[in-house]
């Protein structure tokens, strides 16, 4: 089996104080804008719990963007 990417290789969550395995990789700017305290360079790796927090905090913004470009 060929593993591509850091998530598949078992990188840890980038949120300060969390040491769980990551399931998603996102841009650090988007994650920090959502209110999560992350360490790292360009990419942030999130575990299941923190990815759920990220989705909850960006849900309203995504909905507004969708409505804005609907017409």
Determine the pLDDT at residue 3: 75
* pLDDT tens track for 3-60: 788 998 999 999 999 999 999 999 999 999 999 999 888 999 999 999 999 999 999 9
Classify residue 44 as exposed, middle or buried by CB count within 10 Å of its CB (0-12, 13-18, 19+).
buried
**Is 19 within 8 Å of 36 (Cβ atoms)?**
no
Domain boundaries, the chain: 6-68
**Is 71 a residue whose pLDDT tops 70?**
no
> What does the alpha-carbon distance between residue 70 and residue 64 come to, in Å, rounded to a whole number?
10
**Is 1 a residue whose pLDDT tops 90?**
no
């Amino acid at each position: 089996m060929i593993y591509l990417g850091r998530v598949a290789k078992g990188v840890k969550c980038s949120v300060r104080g969390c040491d769980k395995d990551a399931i998603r990789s996102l841009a650090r700017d988007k994650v920090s804008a959502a209110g999560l305290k992350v360490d790292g360079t360009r990419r942030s790796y999130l575990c299941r719990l923190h990815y759920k927090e990220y989705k909850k905090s960006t849900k309203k913004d995504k909905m507004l963007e969708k409505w804005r470009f609907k017409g």
